[in-house]
Amino acid sequence: MRWTLWIAFVVLCVLSGTSWAIPREMSDGLPPLEQQGLLFGVIGLTALLFAGRRAWSRSRGLQYARLAAAAVGFFGVPMVVVEYARGSVPAISRSALFALVPVVVMAVASGESAGQEERGARWFLMPALAGQGGLLLLLPLAFSGSARGWTTLAVVCAAVILVGLASVWLCRLLCGIALADAIAVVGLANAVFLLIWSAVCEEVVWRGSGLASVISIASLADVVEVLLITWLLREMAPIRFAARYLVIPLLTVLESYVVMRPEWTVRMGFGTALLAAGGGMLLFLKAGEKETVLSLR
């Protein structure tokens, strides 16, 4: 993997892993989904200025429609699910569930290959499960026993599967599209989806003070994350990129250790080691010639 991809991947993981330390919008700001919709709109419209006119032809309309659907499944739908799950599925439990994305990606990769190539994808099953096990040892999971709690848990699990499927789909679709065009489609599709959802499900706010909250360090970090994710989805194999669902929690855990200085236990040490080993093996494990199946290109 090129050193530029490594730098971009590290920057993305650090940004996501330290997001808890970045101050978010004030109480009089925009609702979260509306704010994210506006940010995606800014990204899409800006990228549209650099997109090639010839690329926006009728012959590529179906390809762009597929890209838009996959992008909404990867970005927009999980954002809606996270907002729906607040109060029923704690953030820590959601993080643990989304750590299963590498397993989903691996299953899709092995399911679409056959024979000896199928075993190339299965090389990554154990690291993915090991990382998930380490995270379960570290995080105090809690789920509501109510009917809404179980329903919400099922919705979150469905979102995890959708993200895994969409990441593989995006890897294929982004390969044949110029980066500026791809960012424009990703941004505008998610902007339309999130703003329509906000308008239907919650009051849309157009206060000046609310719009001003979009211009912040947190929003800038979100924009950088979207750009990096889109580029890395285009350049990295899906399973390699899915390692971020283990690397980001690992960074967050390590940061919490530095800040809170808890007393180490065997469980904490073993969980951290498993999480680090799982994420590292997904990034660095060599599966020989069989690894080429993971790109699904």
| DSSP assignment letter at 202 | S
* Side-chain half-sphere CA neighbours of 13 within 13 A: 23
Residue length of the chain = 297
Q: Is the pLDDT of residue 293 over 70?
A: no
pLDDT of amino acid 280: 93
Instruction: Determine the straight-line distance between the first and last CA of the chain, rounded to whole angstroms.
Output: 16
Check pLDDT > 70 for residue 213: no
How many whole angstroms separate alpha carbon 57 and alpha carbon 38? 26
What tokens does 172 get?
Answer: 């294929």
Give residue-wise pLDDT tens across range 92-128: 888 889 999 999 998 887 665 544 434 556 678 888 9
Residue of 57 and 123 predicted with greater confidence: 123
Least reliable range by pLDDT among 56-65, 113-122, 165-174, 287-296:
287-296
- CA–CA distance from 189 to each of 64, 113, 185, 286 (Å)? 10, 30, 6, 36
Q: With bands split at pLDDT 50, 70 and 90, how would you rate the model's confidence at 87?
A: confident
Structure tokens at 67: 């890209």
Residues 6+ positions from 197 with CB-CB distance below 8 Å: 33, 37, 76, 80
Return the minimum-mean-pLDDT range out of 17-21, 41-45, 181-185.
Answer: 17-21
pLDDT greater than 60 at residue 295: no
Residues 6+ apart with CB under 8 A from 218: 19, 22, 23, 24, 25
Report pLDDT for 290: 43
In the chain, count of helices (H) and strands (E)? 15, 0
140 φ, ψ to 5°?
-80, 95
pLDDT at residue 209 greater than cutoff 60: no
Burial class (CB in 10 A: 0-12, 13-18, 19+), 43: buried
Output the pTM of the full model.
0.86
